[in-house]
Structure 1
Amino acid sequence: MLNTVVLHVFSSSALHQYEFVQMRMNCTDAQRYCRENYSDLASIDNSADVTELLKIMAKSADNAVWIGLMETLRSEWKWSLGDPAFYTAHDLLFRNWASNQPNNGSYYCAYMSQDGLWHDDSCNNQRSFICYNDSSKGFVLVQQSMTWRNAQSFCRANHTDLSSVRSQSENQQIQQLINTGVWIGLFRDSWEWSDKSTSSFRNWFILIKQNLSWSEAMTYCRQNHVDLVSVPSPQIEQRVMNVARRASTAAVWMGLHHYCSMNMWLWLCGEVVCYQNWAAGSGTRAHDCREQRAGAIQSAGDQRWVSLPTTIRLNFICTNSEP
């Protein structure tokens, strides 16, 4: 059983006040306690809320707490830019699906075709994509092909998020930028917040305090989540650092492995390492190919990356990258 983080909404605005309850309960009892004594289990709207919760959790020895995100039997379409303050009730529900779309089968991500109509597709397919930049209040076409999840990470790291489309006018603005199908920020999942918040913000990083080899850690993550975590940007790395600080080992496995025959480092998601943050002497020299090596992030100090034999047993970070 876990400790609980509880949510108390102190005004009618989008602001939250979080309080840390250091009692161990199952999820159902935690929800009941929060509703009886505060408002509900915590809901999370954006990265700033995550930062606030991590500050609260730093006061505890526990590495996991209950929040109000719960899986349901329904699967609904939501926007990656999950802050409810960005939408009105009307424009949150704007859709421009093509005929017979979505089919709501095994496809969980949406793209806009050249004619401005929307289609569902496998999130693992590679497409160009549209970011939204809150500073300029505009849309940005990125003509690199990425999976939906990697496109989301890119937009969050370099702009604000994958684009929402709140009206026919915004749909036309994006259509004028494109000459092929592009990812937009619409995805489908079966999770909802206990307090019925409309936030679709998700932040799936999980520290596993078991000491496993890199291969065992990869197998664990793939069986219980999606994969070992990838770190494509400084912004994602900061979140991983916050999680790694609570580890019980000096370093924490990531989804980074050495392709020895070509002396290349690759993420398990298949991407070549572009952004990197190696400690001195790690990651930059050739290795004896008789010893397989993988990448870990240090759990203390400046938290640089280190190259280690895959047989070393460490804590590790999983991600649930399926939207």
Structure 2
Amino acid sequence: MFRDVDQSFFLTGCLIFSRCRQYYFVNKSLDWGAALSYCRVNYTDLANFENATEMKQFNKTVSFAGYNSEVWIGAYLSFYWRHVSQINDDFWKRENQTKNEPFSVYYFCTKALVNSPYWYWSWYYINCSLEYPFICYNGKKIPKHFFFSLRLF
């Protein structure tokens, strides 16, 4: 009985968390670091999300602003997301890089391509010094977790 109560509370907390986050489109072109600083001073952080509900809200924000090109987002290079059923391997793209080439420091900043044919967005790890508009959010900060899949012999 206690286990069921705990699980219900956790699911309710997740739904409340998703509804509390507000996204803001900033139509000012900055490099990734400057966009991150701007969001942290004026909002909570550069946009990030944990689930499909948050991604839909994010998509509506940019669509409502009438913008349909590239924007900076605050996504982390996280192998955990590769195993979530709602987001597949084709979701992440690497500009000027082959599929077998490993990620380098040059590719740690993430942009989203609005109105792409992939799911809601296509994401790219690219040069952080390029300038794009960006999306900030207000709400609870997403914790920084890293998940790795290791094969033990």
- What is residue 296 of structure 1 aligned with on the other side? 111
Secondary structure of residue in 1 paired with 2:129: coil
Deviation sequence 1:277-310 (CA, Å, 0-9, x none)? 5546439652333x25311221123322222211
* 1:286 is aligned to 2:102: yes
* 1:233 is aligned to 2:51: yes
Is the contact made by 2:93 and 2:123 (CA closer than 8 Å) also made in structure 1? no
Using the size of structure 2 for normalisation, the TM-score is 0.63
User: What are the within-5 Å matches in structure 2 for residues 105-124 of structure 1?
Assistant: none
Choose between structure 1 and 2: higher strand proportion. Answer: 1
Choose between structure 1 and 2: higher helix proportion. Answer: 2
Amino acid at match of 2:112: I
Amino acid at match of 2:33: S
Distance of 1:205 and 1:220 partners within structure 2: 14
Q: Decide whether aligned partners of structure 1 residues 253 and 130 sit closer, same or farther in structure 2, where only a CA change above 3 A counts.
A: farther
Amino acid at match of 2:29: N
**Percent identity among equivalent residues?**
15
- What is residue 168 of structure 1 aligned with on the other side? none
* 1:208 is aligned to 2:22: no
Amino acid at match of 1:206: Y
Q: Decide whether aligned partners of structure 1 residues 140 and 296 sit closer, same or farther in structure 2, where only a CA change above 3 A counts.
A: same
Is the contact made by 1:249 and 1:314 (CA closer than 8 Å) also made in structure 2? no
Residue from 209, 233, 251 that aligns with 2:70: 251
Distance of 2:74 and 2:54 partners within structure 1: 13
Is the contact made by 1:247 and 1:299 (CA closer than 8 Å) also made in structure 2? no
User: What are the within-5 Å matches in structure 2 for residues 34-53 of structure 1?
Assistant: none
Is the contact made by 2:28 and 2:132 (CA closer than 8 Å) also made in structure 1? yes
Unmatched segments (≥5 aa) in structure 1: 1-128, 132-138, 143-150, 163-200, 258-264
User: When the two structures are aligned, how many residues end up with a matched partner?
Assistant: 125
Unmatched segments (≥5 aa) in structure 2: 142-153
Amino acid at match of 1:301: S
RMSD value over aligned CA atoms? 3.4
- What is residue 147 of structure 2 aligned with on the other side? none
Distance of 1:216 and 1:319 partners within structure 2: 15
Is the contact made by 2:92 and 2:123 (CA closer than 8 Å) also made in structure 1? no
Distance of 1:294 and 1:221 partners within structure 2: 15
Deviation sequence 1:12-51 (CA, Å, 0-9, x none)? xxxxxxxxxxxxxxxxxxxxxxxxxxxxxxxxxxxxxxxx
Q: Decide whether aligned partners of structure 1 residues 219 and 130 sit closer, same or farther in structure 2, where only a CA change above 3 A counts.
A: farther
